[in-house]
Amino acid sequence: VEESSARGACIQAAAIAQKTTVSQVIEQWQPDVVQIISPRKQQDLSSYFQKYDECSNWRGLDRKKEKV
């Protein structure tokens, strides 16, 4: 099940359980915007991108393909 499908099902179930509308549940569950962060400018971000690449390419938790 995709996350968006599961999230939608949870919202619908909550609306039924609370005897309210889906719109009201969405309004209740929507997180507040606490702080808006501006992008970093005029900084060398190459080390951050390098670390991101290392983490995103790591496959240590992937399932191994079973030999048939």
pLDDT in tens, 33-60: 888 888 777 778 888 899 999 988 888 7
Whether the CB-CB separation of 22 and 11 falls below 8 Å is answered with: yes
* Strand locations in the chain (E): none
Biggest distance spanned by C-alpha atoms of the chain: 53
pLDDT in tens, 3-39: 778 889 999 999 999 999 999 999 999 988 888 888 7
